[in-house]
Structure 1
């Protein structure tokens, strides 16, 4: 057990802190022209504000924020300026966190390459000593040494930017900006790319205000679905309503969480809105979002009071099994399949459908907790750890662990189901070792993933993964029930019959001592207690 790493304790995942819903805006041509013009103007203000914020770097403070907001207020309004500066601050903070994560990734890559370069060519990995395998050839060793120097130079540049507080952000996305120079490879024309670029750089977002009418004064959506925006002074001539507002012809009807949204705007509580354009589909959308009150995290023992459903996440399905309060599997294993091939919208729909069926199964079982693995493949998507195993690296790269858990937590909060995260170490190996064979019957084939779901659930409940020893039958023991307790890790053959109380080997007759075939010590042989001589009885006369 010296090579087994320390396991993290299970914990209840906190619920979502906010809600976001979206609906389509079926705008007219006149409405679309107004939205494009206003969005492009506010987007130019947001671009200039982001440049000012990046130039300030670490010297930014509350006073400089007020100066930036005052600068934008003259061209738009105080509320538009507040939304723009807040979005700029969030974008700079996100770039800063991404910069820190990139430094951690670079250091990890350099450490892995240095460890493999120090090993002899063709050396095998030693898991007990935590030694990686060596490179296969001298050519590969030389290529990796050059890559290590490249990564070190890159790390030095990132560390310099981090110290100076310099971030590199592209409004509209760096990927879309790079595609501009490779339009034939991307299969786009310049006009199509320009439409995407302008749509990505538009700014039509407004933060909510509690106490204001319908929760937002800049972009207002009434309880009847009427949408209106507050125009900047430059576009006051476009107003078709009082107080410099423009009312769209489109009507919004939020289908998902519509009642919750109506209750919120009816109480004039803050709701943030964002209007955005999808040039690929030629559609306009509006997204409403708001914060949720912080809900106290349910204690772990309370969440597991009625048992749990252990879930093993895989590339193509979720394997689930219900466990009682003692960690014993109940019923049959469940498998919820999904397909991760295709577009992002298709993959998202597949995941949502699988999670919906999982939550319905948990509600039918009457449990209030679902145990999942706290997976993170951030350090496993490189060639340095898994070599040339492209198939496995492609598998874990497309496996949406973070999105799956985040979506599960959000959906489970509406069903009053707690999500318990456990350490994923050794769940598949130990589950298959202790549970796969005992639960396999002629009518049920238990897979390795089904056994892993039991291991996940038992770890969440605080039980060891290995099975409890069974009570011996009365004809094999004294029937006092001495094996009802959990077997200790050091107990020999703890999954089978318990060994004898002593370590003495059973008595074996000496090879030098011979016995006749026709004699039996039980019936015909009598041993004299005073001597070692054996007396054999003669056959009886039959006459």
Structure 2
């Protein structure tokens, strides 16, 4: 157990810091759609120019250059449109830098793995901690070539990072590559062009506290009237005062509509984004605002009513309810979701599964849900798992980060705390200690169900392994309960016990299994009455 890494303590995950709701813009006239397209295309071209200027600045960016870019955009739009464009540009550049750092880390990990395996003899087997040599000389030769490719790629990425260069595609790199594969994507050139242009439009504005209805650029009144401040070159399209264009659509937000209305009436900041769905041919409006993060309750208070342990898998969530002592109660539950299809479909499937999980938790009266603090960013590299292509696809398709963020956001409205635990050895030790004891003739306990118990017990501070059974002579009310529980400070308490021949209780001979069925009942006379009762034979537990 010396090479086992330390296990981090569980913690209560923070709640959401913002709210985003969406609604559809219905009953738009052809003139409304034409104005939205023109405004989006004009502001999108300004956003593309500003992004180019920001990338040219690189690491030499400063507050003065930011102000100069904003002044240049103000003449072609407005001061508020320019502020929104420069802020989004800055966020895009920062996101590209974080992705660049992650790419460098992935390349370094791949190069380290290849060098290690090339240094070993061909065919040498690996261990659980380190991979072995390559299987054959053919694979060894191709990995030497791949090593040179990765080293060359790493050199270019490092040079870009040191120089402050980033590569950003407005509209998305994946959609850009789809242009060369229209048949597999089931798109025509005109259909792709429409989607490409719509993805590059810019129709979003930051909110301002103290301003009328919380936003001076894109304004939605409590009655649902939508108006847009037109850029200076398109001011002749205005149909209202002060260069504004009022849409014919009347909108309302079904989800959190009252909360949104309260903010708008109090002139508190609300940011809006208008976008077009080319697949459905519909316009949508998104509203978002910041909220103060809720104070997380203490871990002991969250676990006062028990906990539900949840094991995240590629196609389902395995959950089991545990009482305050860490014992599983009831039957395990499964919440399935389908991660095929579009991003919107996958997100809807995750939200539906989490909704059913939260409803079940509320019906049980549990105030805490324990999940693993998973992050597969460093675990799904091609060089680490080698030929396990299906396994790499499996872990790449698991929505670990999005699922936890969604769960924390949705649970905040229900008063349920989300506890994140260290995922180390939960599946292995859960199956080792809980899968077989909880299986029966009419119930099959899977490895995922056992892992959910391990996750819940780790959140409660209990060891994953089950309690040691006392000797048979000490299992009576006369002597009291003698179950041995490992102390929390005992080193290696999460580890498995050493294997000892014979029954685990070591209170009977090793051949006791053969004589179980031949044992007869013991007749005992109660000294307090004249009745005679027969005690059934007691089976020795393993």
Partner SS for 1:421: strand
TM-score (structure 1 length as normaliser)? 0.88
Instruction: Please say if 1:219 is aligned against 2:248.
Output: no
Q: 1:84 to 1:480 in 2, by over 3 A?
A: same
Cα deviation, residue 492, structure 1: 6.3
Q: 1:449 to 1:184 in 2, by over 3 A?
A: closer
Q: 1:24 to 1:475 in 2, by over 3 A?
A: closer
Counterpart in 2 of 1:39? 40
Cα deviation, residue 123, structure 1: 1.4
Is residue 110–residue 382 contact of structure 2 (8 Å, CA) maintained in 1? no
Is residue 472–residue 481 contact of structure 1 (8 Å, CA) maintained in 2? no
Is residue 474–residue 480 contact of structure 2 (8 Å, CA) maintained in 1? no
Is residue 471–residue 481 contact of structure 1 (8 Å, CA) maintained in 2? no
Q: Deviations over 1:429-450 (max 9, x none)?
A: 1111111122223332222211
Is residue 58–residue 165 contact of structure 2 (8 Å, CA) maintained in 1? yes
Paired residue total: 501
Q: Deviations over 1:53-103 (max 9, x none)?
A: 111111111111111111111111111111111111111111111111111
Unpaired runs of 5+ in structure 2?
A: 488-492, 511-542
Unpaired runs of 5+ in structure 1?
A: 507-543
Range that drifts further, 93-102 or 327-336: 327-336
**Aligned counterparts, 1:11-410, within 5 A:** 11-26=11-26, 27-127=28-128, 130-184=129-183, 186-410=185-409
Is residue 110–residue 384 contact of structure 2 (8 Å, CA) maintained in 1? no
Q: Deviations over 1:469-498 (max 9, x none)?
A: 345555767943362330475976799754
RMSD: 2.3
Partner SS for 2:351: helix
Cα deviation, residue 166, structure 1: 1.1
Q: Spell out structure 1 runs of 4+ moving beyond 6 A.
A: 475-478, 490-496
Instruction: Tell me, in whole angstroms, the C-alpha distance in 1 between the residues paired with 2:403 and 2:486.
Output: 36
Is residue 231–residue 245 contact of structure 1 (8 Å, CA) maintained in 2? yes
Higher Cα Rg, which structure = 1
Q: 1:147 to 1:491 in 2, by over 3 A?
A: closer
Counterpart in 2 of 1:510? none
Counterpart in 1 of 2:8? 8
Counterpart in 2 of 1:528? none
Q: Deviations over 1:272-322 (max 9, x none)?
A: 001111222211111111111122222222221221111111122211111
Q: 1:36 to 1:126 in 2, by over 3 A?
A: same
Instruction: Tell me, in whole angstroms, the C-alpha distance in 1 between the residues paired with 2:74 and 2:463.
Output: 62
Is residue 97–residue 166 contact of structure 2 (8 Å, CA) maintained in 1? yes
Is residue 492–residue 499 contact of structure 1 (8 Å, CA) maintained in 2? no
Partner SS for 1:403: helix
Cα deviation, residue 342, structure 1: 3.1
Q: 1:184 to 1:316 in 2, by over 3 A?
A: closer
TM-score (structure 2 length as normaliser)? 0.88
Cα deviation, residue 381, structure 1: 2.5
